[in-house]
Structure 1
């Protein structure tokens, strides 16, 4: 599976996000590989209504509806059509207590969760809190030319044996070989952003990445 992090790129906002995710939907249907967009909160309802695909939020806060000015509530995300949310991305990091509170609050409102961990130590703690997925990525490798799977292959293999959840690998993932290597190491998916969103041909890049799952399985 591919978690497609859309961040706040212009190429993945408003009308542009519909165009991009229409391509992602086509590739997912062609290859049978789930491609889950992690969208801006402002685009979730539109994506769900126009494309009828699974869509996740990039962040949520551990709050119930009420007096929480400027926060993102799991209740409102669920109403908008989100089916899950990412927690603790390096660009929107939270402390350990907040990670647990957010997982619990997401469960309360029927949202799935993917928690991003930069260390094995944190992942060992997070797995006990029972999110749906755990992602492993180093902040310094995000959007760079060196991939997490190339730099930390041994750690990925180790972590895949420790945690209870499917392991997703991110940071610098940009090629079919990265996908294949991730799967061989015990990962079950990847999370990436700029490799697709900023690509000259996002559909071709997504197809290349998705086919990494097919060829590995074959």
Structure 2
């Protein structure tokens, strides 16, 4: 299969996003898809499925295989997406609307950032969209479950945070009851830390580095996993 002419080895989608695994391409070529109508075709050019109104939220290179994973987030309503799809099939009119398309792409990216930062994220979802996460701003309100970046690290709100609390107490040492650290390695996989709450435990299938960022990767074999691979080997499978 192909995605806009790029070799596609697999994809999946929900009502809000679509995930693609691409091969024989570069990050630059994948990034160039942002703002375009994303069309999956078979090798003969027949259309399989189209995704209109999506913006690229994350691009990740899989070092072991060289494949590239792309997450696209739906940022437009059905009517707008349908209009864009219709325009996409009228190639002769697109050239005259280059400036508008560029502005739409920027608007879509901004909408994707707004969407991601307004949602409680699972740890797995965070790994896919971490580049879009906003910085923690003292003096702002934050709902329980939202994730923000502070001093280069990611924290989940352990409870609703009001303006006075965020102004007085920032994420870090001594404020663990307010903000839960989500420690990510450079490859986007969590570094194992002793969970402090249910939201911080490892879900079935979630991966982690143990004992540190340079350690091997393990996959959790159970849900709500609070044990380390060393403390409970039966709860983990070493995958890398």
Q: How high is the TM-score relative to the length of structure 1?
A: 0.30
Bigger fraction of residues in helix: 1
Q: Which has the larger radius of gyration?
A: 2
Larger fraction in strand? 2
Normalization by structure 2: what TM-score? Answer: 0.28
Q: Which structure would you say has the larger RCO, counting Cα contacts within 8 Å and 6 or more residues apart?
A: 1
